[in-house]
Structure 1
């Protein structure tokens, strides 16, 4: 299964490269965010800088690349993420993707691969994913997110992420989000939610961030993936 998923993402990327003469950046974003648990685990704060870029080779095919850097408060841990998506657009507003990526934290790597789908319906957009890792111990994650535009500037939404890993490593995260769009492609956003992990008390979390979006669209087709993205933060 792992080789099939990696092959699928690579095949989509190679297929789009065949039309390289028509390649253009269809969307990109960069951002910085800060988040932390509201309980006693103050060393679990996370500072993140990330960026994504999507290159379209035709109306139907594109490739998206992701990068992120994370610093985890008083733990002294630093983490990074790299990801690649091969994306097919069967119709306007619909995106289907296969992706591969790697999280690296405190000198350890976690490779993951999965499938994703998204639908933009104007005022509302939703996307979901499933990914798997067997870098050391098998683990599977599923998630769903979306938002609804209340006005041209303000939208509200939510996200749910569930990770099922080796013994005592399961956790889930549920959050409510809000985004305010400013001029020139900038937006500020926040999230409030709850993290519930095995062998630990459930805790609330808060997060704030700012993002700049570039390109003719509204950014990239998909959000970033990986285990580090699922930990409290935006």
Structure 2
């Protein structure tokens, strides 16, 4: 409990939703959980508030008037790294995958439990915080510093989301081993159940940043019918 309170202390969460009822309920739960909460009702307001007080995490509705959540996410990521949890009123898989493709770290489908959302916020923030020093991981031209949460390829820094960083670090720690999507969801996301397309999308995004030819991956290889394997000597 003390560790959870420490993680929440001072963490600023920006809640972006044009539905005032949803925004009020979400903000209330986050406030009671110990977070500093800002609210915005549309995309331009969200960008302005983020510029004034850069958030530690954004809870972002996909279906905003005018500038939708995907564009808000893109513009925020253009200004700097920030974890994003996407809210969507739709259950359509394409919408969820689209949110993950633009860099959302997690998503929650409406209607949702506010308590579950608070747990998702805690999970994403916990993984976004610097880890205890454990030494830099290196393989195949890649280097990952878990303490500083920085990654590079051939000396050039990689722009990774929270989940992409965690996924790469995990794979570098276990070269040559095959992990199913269920394994990765449990070990990287910390979930015992969930939409496995989340893992598929993040693997695809990560390949696009670390592979010389993402269409013919040599580092993060697919083991058909099983899962994925990192080839550290590739």
TM-score (norm. length: structure 1): 0.28
TM-score (norm. length: structure 2): 0.28
Which has the larger strand fraction?
Answer: 1
Which has the larger helix fraction?
Answer: 2
